Structure formats: structure tokens, C-alpha cells
Amino acid sequence: MIKFRHCQKATKIGSLYGKPVKSACKDPIRSRLTLFQIFQRSTVFKKLFCILLLQSLINVGIAQTRITEDQIKAVYMFNFANFIEWPETAFKTAKSPILYCSIGNTAVSKNLDAAVSGEKISNRSLKHISLEPDSDPSACHILYLPDSYLDKNQSLLQKQMPSTLTVGDSYDFIKAGGMVGLVREKTKISLVINIKRTGETNFKLSSKILRLAKIWDE
């Protein structure tokens, strides 16, 4: 039996959803799947708990669970918009969506597309599009550049896109100028933030997300 160190947090989430809470404490692997299934209906407060729980539960080992690394990365990216404050100038109109973009058609891209479908954050609808590698991503608010496309698209990370949060898979992505890395380290996904690059944007990252991350400042 794997000890679930955050049963109190799981109990709070479970009670908010009307879910049985004892099973989450007894079976952390199953609770991870439950969190992935319900996070789309969460408030910002609950989503922060979902991220905290996912981060701690990932220590169980991705290979031991029914939730995939690609799903975990999609959960993180979906939630990023809850902790970013964009200026109004980042949107064409008051009704413009928060635009998620992915380079290429990857498993993460497919999971992200499913996650944002029909959802809203801060009264804005969410939209996901898959881009060709040579597309202009400057209109994107969150841009995912997988490692499989990194070598040929590093120039994107140097492009002036003040309203775009760039997200990738590795420390190589961070070193190349990416802003947020969802980095596989043994059996967990670590959140790594390039604080210098995010400081060059016109949006503001919440301190809540910064507290969850490893800060890269080189």
C-alpha cells in the first residue's frame, strides 16, 4: 500500500464533488485518474488543488498508473490559464478566446484539445489549434512545442511574442529560451519555469504557480 500523504486535500476535493473520499486515500492511483476526469469542471480553487495533488501523486510512478504522461501535461497546460493574467491588448475583442496552440499533431495535443473543448476561464472560451511547424504562433496565448519539433523550431523561442507562454518537454527547451518545461524526471513530471523569459512578457504569472515550480534563472 502506498501512503497517500495528502488525504486531507483529497477529502476536501472529494466532498466538493460529492465523490467518495475514503477510496481516494486508500487508492491514490485510482484517485489520480478521478482527478483527471473531473478537473475540467473545477473552479480555480479546486484546480490548484488538482495540480498540487497531481504533483505529489506523480511520485507514485507514471508507469504504475492508468493516467498517461501526455494526459498529465494536458492537465497542467489547461490549468496554466487560470494562473496567468493577460492584458486586454492580448485579445482582439472582449469575447476573443484564450488560444492554446500546439506544434504538430502529438498525443499531448490531442489530450489538450479534449481538455479545453467547451470550457471557459475568466469568462473567455478556450480554443485549441494544431499548427504546422512553419506557422506564425504570435496570436497564441499558450504555445506547446514538443521536443520532437524543437531542433527545427528553436527560432520560435526567440521570436517577440509578448502575450505567448511557451511550453515544452525538457531542460533543452528551457535552455533554448522556452518559458515553461514539463520535464520528466524519473517517475514524475517537474514544472520548470524560466523566470527570465517570463519576465520579458506582458502577462503576469500568479505566485501560486511559481510556488509549485522549479525556478530556472540562468
Angle at 52 between CA 40 and CA 16, to 5 degrees: 50
- Tens of pLDDT, residue by residue over 136-174, are 999 999 999 999 888 888 888 888 899 999 999 999 999
Domain range list for the chain: 7-64, 69-216
Residue 22 contacts by C-beta under 8 Å, 6 or more apart in sequence? Answer: none
> Which of the four CATH numbers 3.30.1280, 1.10.10, 3.40.50, 3.10.20 does domain 69-216 have?
3.40.50
pLDDT for 3 equals 33
User: By three-state DSSP, how is residue 111 classified?
Assistant: helix
Return the biggest CA–CA distance within the chain. 52
Global pTM exceeds 0.85: no
pLDDT for 1 equals 31
State the chain's mean pLDDT as an integer. Answer: 78
Backbone angles phi, psi at 113, to 5 degrees: -60, -45
pLDDT for 56 equals 52
Residues of the chain with pLDDT under 50: 1-35, 40, 45, 60
pLDDT for 50 equals 62
- Tens of pLDDT, residue by residue over 168-177, are 999 999 999 9
pLDDT for 55 equals 57
| Closest to 79 (Cα-Cα) out of 214, 205, 217 | 205
**Whole-number CA gyration radius for the chain:** 17
pLDDT for 71 equals 86
